[in-house]
Structure 1
Amino acid sequence: MPIPRTVLMLSAHPRGTAPLRLDEELREVKEGLTKRSKLRDNFTLVSEHAVRTRDVHRALLDSKPYILHFSGHGTGAKGLLLEDEVGDGKAVSGEAIAQLLALFKDSLQCVVLNACYSEVQAKAIHEHIPFIIGMNHVCLSNLETKR
């Protein structure tokens, strides 16, 4: 039997940003991996919420993920929005994220950035990680919360 591969799901929703349904997204990923997938025994899901920069590094060290899924807000060239110590937004550049993820390139094979305008970060990360998904427009999840 293969050793389960870890999917690390990180989310951040800083104060003062547009509402997101991060709990719903986590539920869908969890159900897909643990209930509906025929390969469910091949994966474990670890999730961290309200992540700060240091939390990302710690979570990567602790879980050694095969897949990293980030859900939150993106700001294009300024970066992905994580939380600071008091819950406000802190933009982290694509280069900074790419340099961090490069340290895990032996185990990390796929990164999903479910954040608006995260294509810039995806391009930087792709220099180190073979499979990456980023968004070049407003994400559907953001549109749905505004209805």
Structure 2
Amino acid sequence: MSNASNNEYNLQGAKVAAFAGTEGQASGTFNDYSSTNPTAETETSSTPKTRKILILAANPTTTKPLRLDEEVREIDSVLQKAKKREQFQIKQHWAVRVRDVSHALLDEKPQIVHFSGHGAGEDGLVLENETGQITFVNAEALAGLFELFANHIECVVLNACYSEVQAKAIVNYIPYVIGMNKEIGDKAAIEFAVAFYDALGAGETIDFAYQVGCNAIRMAGIAEHLTPKLLKKE
């Protein structure tokens, strides 16, 4: 049995419920709007699709404790307040093991994948085994996995130390990949992630959101704003 927890934050729920209640009060009955309004289909087709963000977090018991819970909480909070919050949905998987990664990708079908945890350069990203100890996943294996899901993933964020190695492999298949070119501290990692998703939530591009994230590190007075690297598929 997996020890990873899966918590869902649906940022659309409150707005959908409110709309349904308003419609019911106005008409008293449910009407099939699409059958009576010839422009309904066009309006629906132009509605932006929801972008699902899959957060994978791992902090094995034998590694340095990270403030992953704060990072994820702040990401969720900033998207809850975002101008385009109805366009985003967050899924969380914690204490991630190797096989949990492919299962989460199959189950969630995300557009953005965000990994929070430790990285070890050429050795790989640090995940957990069945007893919570360290296990590594190297760049080649990760790239092969993301190749299988390249039809719907648009961005991968590896918010972990020395993860540029994995980013360079993954970007062969995914349009945008962000990795760290050296060690990054908790504070800088959180500042970058929060500002990045704040910009996405405001409707900005991944390119611009990346720049906002790097600037947020600088604005916080942390000399690590050159650590995150955005790679683009050619």
TM-score range, shorter-chain basis? over 0.9
Aligned length: 143
1:87-127 deviation digits (Å, cap 9, x = unpaired): 00101001101100111101000000010000100000000
Distance 1:30 1:143, change over 3 A: closer
Please say if 1:45 is aligned against 2:90: yes
State the secondary structure of the residue aligned to 1:74: coil
Moved over 4 A (4+): none
TM-score by length of 1: 0.93
- What are structure 2's unaligned runs of at least 5 residues? 1-46, 190-234
Q: C-alpha separation between the residues in 2 aligned to 1:131 and 1:45?
A: 19
How much identity, in percent, do the aligned residues show? 53
1:47-77 deviation digits (Å, cap 9, x = unpaired): 0000001111111011100000000000000
- Aligned residues: CA RMSD: 1.4
Q: CA deviation at 1:140?
A: 2.2
Q: C-alpha separation between the residues in 2 aligned to 1:97 and 1:81?
A: 12
One-letter amino acid matched to 1:81: V
Please say if 1:32 is aligned against 2:84: no
Q: C-alpha separation between the residues in 2 aligned to 1:126 and 1:143?
A: 23
* Matches for 1:1-147 after TM superposition, within 5 Å: 1-35=47-81, 37-141=82-186
Q: CA deviation at 1:83?
A: 0.3
1:122-147 deviation digits (Å, cap 9, x = unpaired): 00000000101000111121789xxx
- What are structure 1's unaligned runs of at least 5 residues? none
State the secondary structure of the residue aligned to 1:24: helix
Q: Per chain length, whose mean CA-contact separation is higher, i.e. which structure has more relative contact order (CA < 8 Å, sep 6+)?
A: 1
